Amino acid sequence: MHPLPVIYITSGPVFRSFFRRGDPLLRDAKIRDRSLCGRSVADRLKYWGEQIGLDPRTVGGHSLRAGHATTAARNGAFPFSIAHQGRWKSLETVRQYIRRGKEHQDNSSSNLGL
């Protein structure tokens, strides 16, 4: 079997549409420069979530946005930059993610040694 080509994304959308062509065994496809629509991202997340045992009803595009906001907040990103990246218009929305992200930091259970 031929090795799969390595594709590095250095700019533009991460989740891109593609055009399947050629030999399915080689998995050659033309990766486009435009992003997937929200529905396509959600469908793929649900599919792959189900493959690893998650309930697909609990997985979606929002999971990525929420995870980004939570992780960025935990790592000290400013709320304004999180809002800009996530395209939230309200800083109150970002503050809710930050609050949720910090619920599991510096709590007594982290010192139980488990």
Per-residue pLDDT tens for 13-38? 877 877 666 555 656 667 778 888 88
Domain boundaries, the chain: 37-102
**The dihedral of CA 75, 94, 85, 50: what is its sign?**
positive
Nearest 5°: CA angle at 24, between 20 and 29? 30
Alpha-carbon dihedral angle through residues 24, 28, 30, 34, given to the nearest 10 degrees: 80
**C-alpha–C-alpha distance, residues 73 and 64, integer Å:** 14
Per-residue pLDDT tens for 86-104? 888 999 988 887 766 556 6
Distances 75 to 16, 45, 68 between C-alpha atoms, Å: 27, 25, 11
